[in-house]
Structure 1
Amino acid sequence: MDTTTIVIILAAVVAVSIFLIVLSQMREKARIERARKITNQQDAYNRANRLLSEIPGQYLTSDLKLLLIKRMEEACVQLAGLKSDLPVKKWQEAAQQLKDQIQAKQDTRSPVKIDTPEKATYVKELLQNLFKMIEDMHKSSKLDAATAKKNLKFVLFLVHKTHADLHMFQARDYVRQNEIRKAIHAYHLASTEMGKSRDNPLAMKAVKSFRIRIKELEALIVEGKDTAHSGSQAKLDREWDTFLHDEEWKKKADYDE
């Protein structure tokens, strides 16, 4: 075997070796990239599912529930395309079933009392995560600008309502204890929080109700009465507990303005 042949063979061996190394690296890179995409989509699904499960029922309107399910479904489609080993089909079936329940107005989630600063802070964090999720969906063209804007404004309103809920709970408690001045202060704080969403008709309705109740309580102090329990308080309590899901006020609300 002459020198030229040996050089050619060695060159071929080197070339084949380099090709195999490059191919192996490309496969490893593709495997890592696929694993990264699967992890990202799994995290997206879990985040949306967690928000849907942990945000208290009084904050989750049908639109927000459907938006969260939309994000879960999008993650499932991506995971199916990546052929992951996750139970994607089961997740898709559960999401579809829940969507049907929501559209049929059969999905009821229990409200949670916001009776401590810790609860208010935790719910606020959940809502802030929801806000970021909506922003990300818009940036990735999964939500149009108008829908994103509407929902972002509404979630921001809910963040303010979280603190108002805490002040409202405290005000009710003060009323039951006949600590009228403390109740008035709590209602003022709740009104201030709602006033941060001046472009939301529901917030302005709440502010008006708080102001009426404050005047009633102030009148009790002037009159020297020793009790603040009244039909007006019960009416305000009912309105506050249900006004996010009040169909009449939903029709009046225009979050795009």
Structure 2
Amino acid sequence: MDTTMIVLLLAAVVTVSIIIIVASQMRERARIERIRKTTALEDSYNRAGRLLSEIPGQYFTADLKLLLIKRMEESCKDLQALKSDQPVEERLSAVQQLKKSVMDGEDKRPPIKIDSPEKSTYVQELLQNLFKMIEGMHKAGKIDSATAKKNLKFVLFLVHKTHADLHVFQARDYVKQNQIRKAIHAYHLASTEMGKSRDNPMAMKAVKSFRTRIKELEAIKGDEEHSAAREGQSSLDKEWDTFLHDDEWRKKADYDD
């Protein structure tokens, strides 16, 4: 075997080795990328499911539920395309059943009273995550600009309302303890929070109600008035609690503008 043949054989061996190494690296990159995509889709599915299950019922509209369900449904379909070893078929079936339930108006989620700073903070974090999710769906082209704008605006209103819920709870507690000055301050804070959503008619209705309540409390001077104030509070409490979980306020809330 002459020198030329030896050189050609060595070159062939080197070439084949390089091809094998490159192919192996490409397969490894593809495997890693598939794992990355699968993990991202799993996270997306789980985050949407968590928001759907943990955001209190009074903060949901059918539109918000359907956005979360849309995210979960798309994640399942993308996982199917990647041939994930997760029980994707079962998940997709459950999500589609939930979607039908929401569209038929049969999905009812109980309201949760915001009676501590911890609850308020936690719900605000959930709503902020929902806000980011909607932004992400819009940037990815999953929803149009009008849908994104409407729902982002509404979620911001809900964040303000979460603050107001806590202040109202504290104000009620202060009235029960005859700490009227503190109660007035708490209602002022609630009014300020709702005032941040000036373009929402129900927020403005709440502000008017808080101002009326503040005037009632400012007029208190004696025990009889204290008693009357507590009785009067029950009317405002009932109105606010209805505002929390009655569908009527959602119908009246014009957050499309």
Which stretch of the first structure deviates more once superposed, 217-226 or 190-199?
217-226
Residue matched to 1:200: 200
| 1:250 pairs with 2:239 | no
**How far apart, CA to CA, are the structure 1 residues paired with 2:34 and 2:236?**
54
Helix, strand or coil at the partner of 2:219: helix
Query: Counterpart of 2:197 in 1: which secondary structure?
Result: coil
Q: 1: distance between equivalents of 2:198 and 2:236?
A: 20
Q: Report the AA paired with residue 52 of structure 1.
A: L
1:83 corresponds to 2:83: yes
| Structure-1 separation of matches of 2:77 and 2:168 | 42
Any unmatched runs of 5+ in structure 2?
A: none
Under a length normalisation based on structure 1, what TM-score does the superposition of the two structures give?
0.93
The corresponding residue for 1:72 is 72
* 1:146-204 deviation digits (Å, cap 9, x = unpaired): 11001111111111111111001111112223332222211111001101111111211
**For each residue in 1:87-127, what CA deviation from the matched residue of structure 2 results, as whole angstroms up to 9, or x when unmatched?**
11111111112112222222222222211111111111111
Q: In 1, Cα distance between the equivalents of 2:247 and 2:33?
A: 47
Aligned pairs for 1:96-115 within 5 A = 96-115=96-115
Write the distance in 1 (CA, Å) between the matches of 2:84 and 2:61.
Answer: 32
Relative to structure 1, is the Cα distance of residues 67 and 182 closer, same or farther in structure 2, using a 3 angstrom cutoff? same
Cα distance between partner residues in 1 of 2:194 and 2:64:
20
Aligned-residue CA RMSD (Å): 1.7
Identity over aligned residues, as a percent?
A: 73
- Per-residue deviation, 1:241: 2.1
SS at match of 1:256: coil
In the other structure, the counterpart of 1:24 is 24
Q: Which runs of 5+ in 1 are unaligned?
A: none
1:166 aligns with 2:166: yes
TM superposition outliers: structure 1 runs of 4+ over 6 Å: none
Deviation at 1:238, TM superposition (A): 2.5
Asked if the contact 1:61/1:245 (under 8 Å) is kept, the reply is no
Distance 1:247 1:166, change over 3 A: closer
Shift in Å, 1:224: 6.3
Letter of the 1:215 partner, please give it: K
Q: Partners in 2 of 1:11 and 1:84 — Cα distance?
A: 41
Q: Kindly tell me: are residues 209 and 221 of structure 1, through their superposed partners in 2, closer, same or farther at Cα, counting changes over 3 Å?
A: same
TM (norm. structure 2) is 0.93
SS of corresponding position for 1:229 = helix
Superposed CA offset, 1:199-249 (max 9, x none): 11121111111112212222333896231222x423322332232554444
Equivalent residues in 2 for 1:19-168 (5 A)?
19-168=19-168
* Change over 3 Å in CA distance of 1:71–1:30 after alignment to 2: same
**CA shift in 2, pair 1:182/1:250, >3 Å:** same
Query: Take 2:177 and 2:100, find their aligned partners in 1: how far apart are those partners?
Result: 45
SS in 1 for 2:84: coil
Q: For 1:100 and 1:234, how far apart are their aligned partners in 2? A: 38
